[in-house]
Structure 1
């Protein structure tokens, strides 16, 4: 099997399109189509069901792609093991980072990693947890860093615990109940969420991991929140709260603007887990081990 040809067929399978696959592979559409037709002629079997809108794998195609992914991973593992023996590490490390917090962390640890492994090029991308897990499963990422809920954990991915993070209630300092908050930058006081049933809330978007953590909190508090605004950005949460537009539930890392926003712990101490993720069946090279160590040390501080 030609390794480049394997990469071509896998990309077509993932994109369900020769056109999109060709764009990502930086080759012509006609050239990629010829590669596919050549392989199908060699195998005596079509690899894709073709229709006007997309391509879907046949039974033979599914077998080819499944085995092809394993072959490419075995090649990568062989190189990684040899590099570990020789101490001459090179190549690319593809890392998925949780938006916002992941990028800040990466900027703080990259210098140490590059000093230890100057021959490794890191390709970081800000990606949400669902997409990270899908990309890890298909070997488009080597590592992921994200915050997860228990329902995010899937069997074929290893979740290395990094730490837990509190989810805080944030309200404007002008709010009457802010009188029960501690002064800025002191330990957080605790308050019951049910006291805010008449307030408007600014929350993360419905499909976010954070919503899977906080939506049950409202149910337990006995009310459906009045949602004024939904966003994918934690900065938007505290910015809108400090301008007196409503209340929010926000990860502690992003609890900023404490002069204008009062933060509380909730009685149940809701948290989510920060993790490093990788495919369970894959070899963990020394550069990957070191990157994981740097992440754990960063959050332990």
Structure 2
């Protein structure tokens, strides 16, 4: 079946052109598109003949866009995006859902069960391609605002970001978790000042619990001294239980390990760990992403929040 055309150009030719531009290689573009390399070269040559100008400089070790190619690339992307949106709109009208959903997840997150939501959505909508990436909350929120991500699970600080809409999924007390032999183990509650000068175990910068720790310590007039940094909350709990230093943990995780960990509450304002589902304030652009957002919001709403 021939590819749809625009003037004398085929959408397939534009697709191949964009792939070669992205990969800077005909061979890599062919592998990305799952087609033979000669076919990619032939389609791009036909597009160049149609336009009457070379789009690539093939004289060097890598393929480079010509000035004309640079000028054409943005328009080619727009045409392909428009064609995809036309198909998605037709599918949505027909009751079908296809397309792609880009989802983000904050690193070292143990309190939100995102994988079951993704699996259930995939089972109900197998025509939707789902991508999942992990990063810190600031980068995830930036990707949501720019449109690189449709939806993300992020950790919240006191200041809620502009340009995004939020559903809080988890709002949980954070505690100081220590081993039974730690000098804080006998205290029911202490001020955050009790951590001044202590060697702490902590999640990396960019995670919600690390941000809560740093913010509370800054309010008390000191910087936390992080001696060990790990990316897994379960490992963080194990290190604290073995006496390698106090750790800030969700109260629920500390309670699960009560035989090895002692949870000490933080007096005063206390610490809260909040996780939220975030999406662009205007809503996701594609039908598939809008369907996933509705699906995820309903799924998380059905789970009782830990308070």
TM-score (norm: length of structure 2): 0.69
Query: Residues 271-290 of structure 1 correspond to what in structure 2 (within 5 A)?
Result: 271-278=273-280, 280=283, 282-285=285-288, 287-288=291-292, 289-290=294-295
TM-score (norm: length of structure 1): 0.70
| Cα shift at 1:161 | 1.9
Tell me, in whole angstroms, the C-alpha distance in 1 between the residues paired with 2:139 and 2:14.
Answer: 23
Tell me, in whole angstroms, the C-alpha distance in 2 between the residues paired with 1:28 and 1:39.
Answer: 17
Unaligned runs of 5+ in 2: 1-5
Q: Deviations along 1:247-284, whole A, 9 cap, x unmatched?
A: 12234564441332223245333444412335746144
CA contact (8 A) 2:144 2:278 kept: no
| Cα shift at 1:56 | 8.5
Match among 139, 143, 168 for residue 162 of structure 1:
168
Residue 267 of structure 1 aligns with which residue?
268
SS at match of 1:146: strand
Tell me, in whole angstroms, the C-alpha distance in 1 between the residues paired with 2:150 and 2:20.
Answer: 21
Unaligned runs of 5+ in 1: 182-189
Further displaced range: 222-231 or 158-167: 158-167
| Cα shift at 1:16 | 6.9
Tell me, in whole angstroms, the C-alpha distance in 1 between the residues paired with 2:159 and 2:46.
Answer: 43
SS at match of 1:160: strand
| Cα shift at 1:233 | 1.6
Residue 238 of structure 1 aligns with which residue?
237
Report the structure number with the largest CA radius of gyration.
Answer: 2
Q: Deviations along 1:210-233, whole A, 9 cap, x unmatched?
A: 434432322222223222211222
Residue 257 of structure 1 aligns with which residue?
257
Residue 204 of structure 2 aligns with which residue?
205
Is 1:84 the counterpart of 2:84? The answer is no
Cα RMSD after superposing both structures: 4.4
Further displaced range: 89-98 or 241-250: 89-98
- 1:136 to 1:271, Cα distance in 2 relative to 1, 3 A: closer
- 1:205 to 1:81, Cα distance in 2 relative to 1, 3 A: same
Tell me, in whole angstroms, the C-alpha distance in 2 between the residues paired with 1:229 and 1:105.
Answer: 26
CA contact (8 A) 1:109 1:298 kept: no
CA contact (8 A) 1:165 1:273 kept: yes
- 1:272 to 1:224, Cα distance in 2 relative to 1, 3 A: same
- 1:102 to 1:242, Cα distance in 2 relative to 1, 3 A: closer
- 1:144 to 1:224, Cα distance in 2 relative to 1, 3 A: closer
- 1:103 to 1:195, Cα distance in 2 relative to 1, 3 A: closer
Match among 295, 299, 302 for residue 294 of structure 1:
299
Is 1:95 the counterpart of 2:103? The answer is yes
Tell me, in whole angstroms, the C-alpha distance in 1 between the residues paired with 2:202 and 2:63.
Answer: 36
| Cα shift at 1:295 | 2.8
Structure with a larger share of its residues in helix: 1
Tell me, in whole angstroms, the C-alpha distance in 2 between the residues paired with 1:234 and 1:281.
Answer: 31
- 1:72 to 1:170, Cα distance in 2 relative to 1, 3 A: farther
| Cα shift at 1:73 | 4.0
Match among 167, 181, 185 for residue 178 of structure 1:
185
CA contact (8 A) 2:190 2:267 kept: yes
Residue 155 of structure 2 aligns with which residue?
147
| Cα shift at 1:71 | 3.9
- 1:47 to 1:216, Cα distance in 2 relative to 1, 3 A: farther
| Cα shift at 1:39 | 5.2
CA contact (8 A) 1:93 1:123 kept: yes
CA contact (8 A) 1:102 1:145 kept: no
- 1:102 to 1:170, Cα distance in 2 relative to 1, 3 A: closer
Residue 215 of structure 2 aligns with which residue?
216
